[in-house]
Amino acid sequence: MAEVIIVPDAPTGGGIVADEIAALIRRRPDAVLGLATGSTPLPVYEALRDRLAGVDVSRVRGFALDEYVGLDTAHPESYRSVITREVVEPLGLDPRHIRTPDGSLDGIARAGEDYEEAIVAAGGIDVQILGIGTDGHIGFNEPGSSFASRTRVKTLTRQTREDNARFFETIDDVPMHCITQGLGTILRARTLVLLAFGEGKAEAVAGAVEGPVTASLPGSAIQLHEHVTVIVDEAAASRL
């Protein structure tokens, strides 16, 4: 059963996770972080700025959860750009140690396998940060994803494209496909931290934490993991 921590607001939740990550990096300077995008983990990355001040982060490694397919990595909304802007630059991480799946059309045939190999070669992910989609997706593992899945190309649902349209000019600019760590990949991380804030996430959170373990709600896969912390505000916890 996941440990659920209800916090008054997102910055408090971000601070709790940042404390854990900063302690991990002090203990293991070459820690491997699993980095999520979306708006939810931003308070974690913000809090890490002062938690990591003066800490040697030159050996920290990281793997993003997912990436859009066919979106130039230079596009401001590619997850490579987002991770660079929100995590790598402000925290002073070495960009050579931070990977995102290769969503380029040229690289796509081998991208999933390469990514899996790179995670294994790094010794696995120490702590995987997760948000959750309103339809219960984690990473971009949409409903119906196999719990054994590895990094691969997926088609985004209409719901997810609508949710993410706010980052693009129109919904038509939101890519149709993505490459995402699989649920099986995520479950191999040593610890999972899932964050969710706001009423819009309440149903997904209830399903993930207390609902049946089902591919219809990919976030429920966290119930199969032994070391999971769920950090939610009152609104996101309201259906628990």
Of these residues, 102, 116, 126, 135, which one is catalytic? Answer: 135
- Residue 39 makes contact with ligand GLP by CB under 6 A: yes
Q: Select 55 or 157, whichever has its Cβ closest to ligand GLP.
A: 157
* Side chain identity at residue 15, one-letter code: G
- Residue 66 makes contact with ligand GLP by CB under 6 A: yes
With tokens 């980052």, the residue in question is 167
Q: Select 41 or 211, whichever has its Cβ closest to ligand GLP.
A: 41
Which one of residues 112, 139, 184, 219 is an interface residue with ligand GLP (CB under 6 A)?
A: 139
φ, ψ for residue 73 (rounded to 5)?
-60, -20
- Residue 65 makes contact with ligand GLP by CB under 6 A: yes
Q: Select 133 or 211, whichever has its Cβ closest to ligand GLP.
A: 133
What is the rounded distance in angstroms from the CA atom of residue 13 to the CA atom of residue 6? 8
Is 102 a residue of the active site? Answer: no
What residues contact 181, with CB distance under 8 A and at least 6 apart? 34, 63, 65, 66, 101, 115, 139, 150, 151
Count, in order, helices (H) and strands (E) of the chain.
Answer: 8, 10
Active site residues: 66, 135, 137, 142
Residues lying near ligand GLP in the complex (CB under 6 A): 36-40, 65-66, 131-133, 139-140, 160, 164
